[in-house]
Every structure is written in C-alpha cells, then in structure tokens.
Structure 1
C-alpha cells in the first residue's frame, strides 16, 4: 500500500514540476556565456593556469565524426564516408594541442583524458594512434590517470579494443540506449543486441575492468515492459557503471530529431515511471545511485566518493578526478580554466580557419564572478551529493551562506513542503523522492534564469522530468 501511495505522490509531483530547465553540466549555463569572450581571454586564463605547475589537468578530445547520425542525438557531429576528412581534422587538433601546451608551459601532467563524440571508435587504427600520441608528446598522462573513450558497438572491432588497451585506455563507455528493436527503429539506430553483447564480452576478455553503458529513457516507443527487458539484459551483463540519461526532445535546435514522431514519445508520467523502474531494478541488484542519473556497482570508486560527499561533475560526467582545470580540444569542445568557461566554434570550417592561422577557435565564454562561483558550488553540491553544507561554503568563500542565500531559502520552502528536500543542521539535504526533481531544486540558485522572462529563458532547455 505504501508503494502505491508513493507512486500516486510522485504522479502529483510530476504534474507540478515537469517544466523546462537546465541539466547544469555547467553554471552559468552555456546560453549565458558571452560571444564577446575572445581567444585572448582564453589565452589569459591559460596563462593564469600556467602558474600552478603541480596541478594535474583533465582533457577532453571531441571526435565529431559518425557513419550516420541517429535521430535522437543532441551532440555536435558530422557524417563522413572517407578518412581524409578525419586526417585533416587531426591536423588541426595537433596544432591546437601544441598551442595549449605552449601557453601552459612545460610538459604538464594529465589525470583524466576522455575521448567523446561523435564516434571516437570510428577512427582507423592509424588515426587512433596518431590522436593519442600527439597528446603524449606534449603532456604526461599519469600512471593512475582515468583514460576513457566512447564506443559504438556497430563500428568497434576486437582489433580496435586491443589497440585501445595497448595505448593505455582503462575505461570504456558503450552507447546502448535501448535493447528493444522497435525503439531502435524509432530513433533511426540499427544496433542488434548481439552487437552490444559481443563487444561487451570482447572488452572483458581484453582486460577492461571498467565499462559503462549509456541508456536513455523517454525515447519513442518505450514502454515499461520493453524497458524492463532492456534493464534485465543490462543487469545480466553487469557493466560497472550505467548512465541513465533523460531524452531531451528539442527539434527546434536539433533538426535530426524532427524525424522522431512526437506522438510516440512517452508522457511525462510514463517517463518518470521508466526512471523509477530503472532506479529500483538497479538498487535491487547491487548498484548505487550516483547523482541524478548514474548507477554504479557498490564497490566502484564513484560510490565511495558519493558516500563521503566528494563526488564531482563536469562535461564528461560524474568523476572523482580532482583536476581543477579541464581543457577541451576540437570543434565545439568546452574548457574550464582558471574559473573561465571557453567554448570552441561548433562548425568545422570556422574551427579549422582559426586554428590554421594560429588562433584559438574560442567563440564564447565567461569569466566567473564570486557570485557565480558561490552559486556554482551550491548547484553542483545539490546535483552531485544531494546536500549543501553551509559551513563548508562559508569556509570556501568567506561568507555567511545562510544569509547570502536567504532569498533562495525562502523560495525553497514550497519544495520543502512537498517533501523534496529538508533543512538539516547546518545545511540542506535532498530527500529520496526529491532526487527525481533535483534539477527543479537547483534552478532556485540560478540567478540568470531570474533576470529574463521565464518562458524565454527556459525554452532552450529540455524538460526536467
């Protein structure tokens, strides 16, 4: 009976809180960054970072290429059919890496190196080796560094997996989305279950001990029964980590999503039930919830970090990596350096033209103010660790946090009344039911959304549920 009451309560809250809002992979969010932020501003941020010689760095390499673009995809990608375009792109990546290394000075240490896309495993073996070595010539990848890459089961061979292991990759992330054939058809992705299972077994055989599955809920044609089967297959394989992403249907920004029939998308209520089903299945089978949408085995380092309130988050996902600065390489990539956000141009021609003349391809960014940093900390603590410790914020920023955020605490009272979070001794804590609505809680601390008309501000974001 209590479970039924709980589900009824969740249904009521979904109706109340289903609205557009940021995912807060950054704060301030990317739409707030200024196009007046120039390459010279990024260079200055790198110069400041060069004065911290002992600090390790985190790197992200964007490989935008795909054989075919899936209808659901919201990433910056390019469809290519020949390797020549990739070679030309790597020419520019090599130049950009050299420019970054030159401004940082010396051979800096790297504690995290992630390849995303696109489809990084779409590269030939020679291109993969080249992309890896152009980094290692300029930077030292630490022996205990997290070196990860995203794999597409449709294009990744055993030979590719062997090469990745030889180069030093130690974490793999596989794009699964959903095992059901009708869902795959509805999103324009043809990936037989056998492909995924085969690649997973190859990766285990070749010695990879940390494998992540990307699943998506909210896709067209998904049902509780079908998604339950996807969850059963996933749990049966037992990947170390599962990222359970909420599908963001934004056809006005992603033209490829116009191929998806909006009538086939699950309702907000069904979508919340899909997440609830997944959460319960994972918790019942030895997984721990990390942040708002990730699940890891109980002995994973992310689980340990979460239990101690030490979880971190950046554009690459949840991490225990302590790197203060992370640098993005390639078109559309984002850097966070010396409390500055900087993003490269998202079009290949614009990116290439800038790099070819020895300029960074920065086209927008933001230097964070003290207020930005305080609110960034509050939002990330809520999103990662489901709590906000006022005393720790006081220590970090030299403020009286409770007084500084007094208007936000008043705004949170209705959410507290709805049971989404509670005020504890010295801070705030998100309740178990509140974790489903953590984006709604985080919005309260976002001062930028309050400065413009609500509809205009939120129209560019996905639904929070």
Structure 2
C-alpha cells in the first residue's frame, strides 16, 4: 500500500512537540530572502534560458479587488465598491502581459492559467472577455484536454451566468472559498455564503461541465468549535467537491490589519485547533479523500493525486500543483513569478504598480537569483514536501554530490526525528513515515540554509505555526 493511500497516523504528543513556526515552502528560498537589489537583467536572462529549455508556461493573474473585507484575509487586496477601478488596472495588466510576450518564445505552450485575488469575479463579464482575449492573442494556450484553466470565486457573490461566461472563455476548473457554514463564525469574520448558495452554484458548475471543483475551508476561526466544524464538513462532503483545502487560520494582526477586527478571545485554543484538524482529516479520509499534504485533499482519481503517484507534483505560490515542468509567469500587483532560476515579485502597492506600467517598465519590486546550492536545496525540499521521500542516487545523478557526506550536518539534525518514528534514513535515502507526514514542514526546515543561518544569527523571521 502506498504511503499516500494510508490513513494518517496521528500522534498528538509528537505533533505538540514539533509544532514550531516555520515556512510553508511555496518557494525555496522563501520570500524573506527576496531583495530590491534584484536586476531586470537577471530576469531577462532567466527568460532566455527558459526559452532555450522549451519549458511550458503557467500564467497567474492577480485581480486584487473585493466588494467586502474578510477579516481573516492575508491576501493583497483592495476593498472597494467602485467597479470603475477595475478596467484601468486590467488594461495595465494586459500591457504587462504584452511586455512579457515580447520576451518569451511565442511558441511556448501555456498549460496552466489561474485568476486569483482578491475576488476575480469582481470584474464584469466584458472585462473578463477583454483579459482572456488579450491572453489568447499574446500567448499560445493549450486546448481544454491539455490545459488547466482555473478561477477563484466567492460563492456568495457570483452568478451562474457569470460562471457560464467564464466556462465559454475556456475556464474548466473552479476554486471556491467556503471557509465555514456556521452563521456565527461567518459574522465574526464578515464572510457570508449560505449552504443553498453553494449547493445551487455547485450544481450549475457541474451542469456547465467544469472539470474540477475545489472548496477551501479554514479551521481555527473565531467562534469555531468542533461541533460547528463537524456540521460544515458534513455539508461539504455532501456537495462532493473534487478537491478540498483546509487551511490553518494564522492570527497575525501585526502583519494583516484586517485581522485586528477579530476578537482574539473568540479564537479557539491551540488544543482545540488540533482536535479540529484531527477530526477533519479522519472525516475526509473516511469520505474517500486522500491527504495530499499540507492542507490539501483530493479524490484518488483527481489529477492532484495522480500527479503525486507519478512523482510529478510540485509546490508553488498557489500551493500544490500538477505541472512541475512549467515556469510560472505572474501578472499584476504583488504577484510572484518563478522562471528558470529566479523569483520575481511585482510592486506590492497598486499605485507603484500602475506608475511603473505607465512608464513602460516591468513592474519589478523584488527578486532573487538562485545559485547552485539554492537549486540543490530547492530540489530536496520539493521532493520531501510533495513525495515524502528523497532518493540519494537521484540527487547524486542530478547534482554530482554524495548526499550522505554533503548533508552530514542535516542528517544529524534529522536523527531525533528518526528516533521518534517520523522518518527513516538509510543508504538509499530519506523516507518520511506516516507519522511524520503532518510534520513535513519541520523536516524540510532542516535543509533550509537561510533559516538555519537566521537562527544562528538570532534573526527574527515570523512564520505561522506548522499545525
């Protein structure tokens, strides 16, 4: 039996012992290492290497607008009812896309496309058509059988006709933020969508032949209890989504001002959150979902599970992804691209982003160029976080090193975890055991050279807790 088809082995004592704060590893090195000293020349050189390699593309468009403020949200968003603000932003994003179209090989195939936010369905149907037509004009998109084209939606604020319009534009996957069905919890976080709205919309999406429906939930929200989560999960399972994400609410009001509107006294205790997570995992496994890793669940026949079985799963800024062979080009305010050996983040503020576009410049704010050591450690962390194993022979073949001696210090740090039954280490490599899957971030942290150095230098980088 594959590790990923087994029910998770829950060891409460070990989880509490290893539940430290740490990165989510949507990239390595992580965002705190990005620097404003990054040059556009480094980006252009990376694009040239990407063209020569012939790698396909994944496109991400950040549409930051929302009609209302969700108090828990840590995304880069602009809350406004002034819909006229959207078009000038979209026009500049199309301008940015055109600048990149001049740099990329026009024969590159776009295998993935994602609209995130914010709330992408904030924009009108006409504006959606404008953006998608420009994308098809400037880049070569895969056909529906090859391509994954997804959009994030707020099920309480989108119509069936808009979803039909998106389907006609080529979108075939939907990710909807449900979060919680309990009315008291919804009021505490100012996020509303009824069961009837989600049920009716889900039926419409299936009738419109969307290939995949994903739902996002959050545990650890104010006024949330084990009983309220049980009720939400029962309703969600009955809706039968193809994928589920259950995120840990990280209360960090020092970073996200909107979270200051949440009453900290209403937040469940760490012990209560652990109980919620344990119950959610067990309930979803009983309902036939596979725990992919770090918040993500999928049906065994879903592409996410198949990619994991085929060892083609990857981790990027959108979480787990099925196309590990793609370079990621991200457009819009605050978005982050991953192209060859560079990460590039756009200007975080809307005015700064739009000013750069008006000057005809790429809206770069920060970036990072990976050296050979970074690429080695990125490979290791990606293998562990996606597949819970590391093959030493593969590392030797790809990077021409002897892992056992090269990583002697890191393997020594893993020894206590091996003693605790979280993983096994032998001459062939590292294998994370069932008991260690929930603590995979903690395993990856050992190979994070920047995190280790920051600790040695007593630098404080704030991360959310692992569990």
User: What TM-score bracket applies, with the shorter chain setting the length?
Assistant: over 0.9
Contact 2:312 2:324 survives alignment (8 Å): no
TM-aligned CA distance change 1:105 to 1:9, over 3 Å: closer
Contact 1:71-1:188 at 8 Å conserved across structures: yes
Q: 1:462 to 1:61 in 2, by over 3 A?
A: same
Which residue of 2 is the match for residue 50 of structure 1?
51
Indicate the larger mover: 250-259 or 261-270: 261-270
Give matches, 1:26-65, under 5 Å. 26-52=27-53, 54-65=54-65
Which of 376, 380, 388 is the matching residue for 2:382?
380
1:158-177 aligned within 5 A: 158-177=160-179
Q: How does 1:18-33 map to 2 (within 5 A)?
A: 18-33=19-34
User: In the alignment, what sits opposite 1:444?
Assistant: 446
TM-score w.r.t. length of structure 2: 0.94
Deviation at 1:425, TM superposition (A): 5.5
Q: Shift in Å at residue 217 of structure 1?
A: 1.4
* SS of the residue 1:304 aligns to: helix
Aligned pairs for 1:48-197 (under 5 A) are: 48-52=49-53, 54-143=54-143, 144-197=146-199
Distance 2:63 2:227 in 1: 35
The Cα of 1:458 is off from its aligned counterpart by 5.2
Indicate the SS of the match to 2:451: coil
Q: CA deviation at 1:43?
A: 2.4
Q: Which moved more, 1:364-373 or 1:15-24?
A: 15-24
Aligned equivalents of 2:303, 2:152: Cα separation in 1: 20
How do 1:215-254 and structure 2 match up within 5 A? 215-254=217-256
**For 1:230-379, what aligned pairs fall within 5 Å after superposition?**
230-379=232-381
Q: Which runs of 5+ in 1 are unaligned?
A: 1-5
Three-state SS of the structure 2 residue aligned to 1:165 is: helix
CA contact (8 A) 2:424 2:432 kept: yes
* Distance change in 2, residues 1:425/1:236 (3 Å): farther
Does the 8 A contact of 1:66 with 1:80 survive in 2?
yes
Q: CA deviation at 1:7?
A: 12
Give the superposition deviation at 1:9: 7.6
Whole-angstrom CA distance in 1 between matches of 2:10 and 2:319: 30
Which stretch has the larger CA shift, 22-31 or 180-189? 180-189
Q: 1:123: Cα distance to partner?
A: 1.0
Contact 1:153–1:175, Cα closer than 8 Å, also in 2: yes
1:459 and 1:267, CA in 2 relative to 1: closer, same or farther beyond 3 A?
Answer: farther
Residue by residue over 1:411-462, the C-alpha shift from the partner in whole angstroms, topping out at 9 and shown as x without a partner, is 0111112222122551112222211211111111111012124796554211
- Work out whether residues 334 and 341 of structure 1, in 8 Å CA contact, stay in contact via their aligned partners in 2: yes
* Runs of 5+ consecutive residues of structure 2 not aligned to the other structure: 1-6
Contact 1:345 1:362 in 2 (8 A): yes
Q: CA deviation at 1:309?
A: 2.8
Task: Give the Cα separation in 2 of the matches to 1:64 and 1:332.
Answer: 9
Q: Distance in 2 between matches of 1:249 and 1:457?
A: 21
Change (3 A) 1:386 1:458: farther
TM-score of the pair, normalised by structure 1: 0.95
